[in-house]
Amino acid sequence: MKQLMSFIRKEFYHILRDKPTMLILLGIPIIQIILFGFALTTEVKNTQVAVLVPTTDEATQRIIEKINASTYFDVVAKIHNTEEIQPIFRDAKAKLIMVFEDHFAENLRRTGKAHIQLIADATDPNAATSFTFYASNIISSYQQELLGQTTNPFQITPEVKMLYNPQMISAFNFVPGVLGMIMLLICAMMTSIAIVREKEMGTMEILLVSPMKPIYTILSKITPYFVLSCVNFATIMLLSVYVLRVPIAGSFISLVFVSLLYIFVSLALGLLVSTLTNSQQAAMLISGMGLMIPVMLLSGMIFPIENMPIPLQWFSDIIPAKWYISAVKSIMIQGLGITAVVKEVVILSMMALILVTISLSKFKVRLE
């Protein structure tokens, strides 16, 4: 026990004395949450709109007013003929142009039909889809107003309800994602680097010659990063609840339990990486390229897994972050209990078991 304590204390000295690294480790979650929360949002806000109105009348006026009044759009230009459309996109003055046909109100009144063309800058397809959808909605709401005045007996009004995240706030999606990423970064990358550093410095030899049990070496390497991950978990939780206003809908205890399990899996991954390599650079590369990128791309954090080709979907199944993120979403956002994430918990536990077994058996007690 004394052996273990001396060694854990030493590991804390290493981390606490390396100020730049510690600052990065504690700062990353804050920066990521702030970035995702305020800068890298997928919500559409204040999109610039230009309108082409050949003949101004009460209908076009009303629609433009409604567009301008919504938080999604700002009407920035009013043009009068089609030649002006190209320059607006070319000079990036607007993302969307609403083209009203000639005599819009008159056509509407006489034939009951009028046309608006929405021309969108689709260089960012996701954004274009979102804001054309919003614009169509606003136009239909004007239609509803008109219908209210006349007496049309046939009226089908779809009422869309966005469950769990009624305001479509993207924070609900990325907070679990950031959690999954940070834990992996701290646990896997830092643990593997810390172990490989001993190999590089030659101190691993001294430890192997000493009566220190290998399991103690591993435990004491893991402990500080475990503590650090818990600090980061708390930071992310506090930031998302109090700054981003993402509530924890479900049980906090379940959330902590699933997170501890995931931290354990990540630590085991870090151990595995450290047994595969002998240089810090290689360890960093393997955890960076081999773990971070799959997590970002294939965990469902950014791109929906359902839309991927089947082989990639299978591949995503072996990424622990996918299961963790899914469990966090269920508990934190949907407010489901631990019984709803049994599948995720079982899979993560299996992964932990397999990884620990492999890495312990590969951790070399002897130099060959």
Under the criterion CB under 8 A, does residue 5 sit at the interface with another protein? yes
Q: Which one of residues 156, 162, 163, 209 is an interface residue with another protein (CB under 8 A)? A: 209
CA distance 336 to 98: 43
Name the DSSP letter for residue 306.
G
Sequence-distant (6+) residues with CB within 8 A of 363 are 214, 218, 271, 275
Q: Which helix (H) or strand (E) holds 134?
A: helix 125-149
Task: Take residue 57 and report the two structure tokens written for it.
Answer: 């009348």
Which of 13, 38, 164, 314 contacts another protein by CB under 8 A? 13
Strand partners, 47: 73
* Residue 312 found at the interface with another protein (CB under 8 A): no
Which of 92, 140, 203, 319 touches another protein (CB under 8 A)? 203
How many DSSP H helices and E strands does the chain contain? 16, 4
Tell me which residue has tokens 């083209």.
99
Residue 210 C-beta: closest distance to another protein, Å: 5
Q: Give 159-168 contacts, CB < 8 A, sequence gap 24+.
A: 164/249, 164/333, 164/334, 164/335, 165/333, 168/43
- Residue nearer to another protein on the CB measure, 21 or 349: 21
d(CA 333, CA 324): 13
In whole angstroms, the minimum distance from the beta carbon of 201 to another protein comes to 7
| Least separation in angstroms between CB 276 and another protein | 20
Residue 10 vs 93, nearer CB to another protein: 10
Tell me how far, at minimum, the Cβ of 267 lies from another protein, in Å.
22
Q: Is 313 in the site for another protein (CB under 8 A)?
A: no
Binding to another protein by residue 223, rule CB under 8 A? no
Query: Mask: binding to another protein, 183-202, rule CB under 8 A, as x and -?
Result: ------------------xx
Residue 208 interacts with another protein (CB under 8 A): yes or no? yes
Considering only residues 78 to 97 of the shown chain, the ones binding another protein according to CB under 8 A are: none
A 10 A CB-CB count for 29 gives 26
Residues within window 328-367 making contact with another protein, judged by CB under 8 A: 366-367
331 CB burial (10 A radius; 0-12, 13-18, 19+): buried
Determine if 48 is a binding residue for another protein (CB under 8 A): no
Q: Which two tokens stand for residue 51?
A: 């309108």
Least distance in angstroms from the C-beta of 14 to another protein: 6
Is the CB of 80 or the CB of 364 nearer to another protein? Answer: 364
H-helix or E-strand spanning residue 226: helix 214-242
Edge-to-edge strand list for the sheet holding 116-120:
73-79, 47-52, 96-100, 116-120
Of 2-10, 126-134, 159-167, 278-286, the segment contacting another protein by CB under 8 A is 2-10
The window from 4-12, 178-186, 234-242, 273-281 that contacts another protein (CB under 8 A) reads: 4-12
Note the residues at the interface with another protein (CB under 8 A).
Answer: 2-3, 5-7, 9-10, 13-14, 17-18, 201-203, 205-212, 366-368
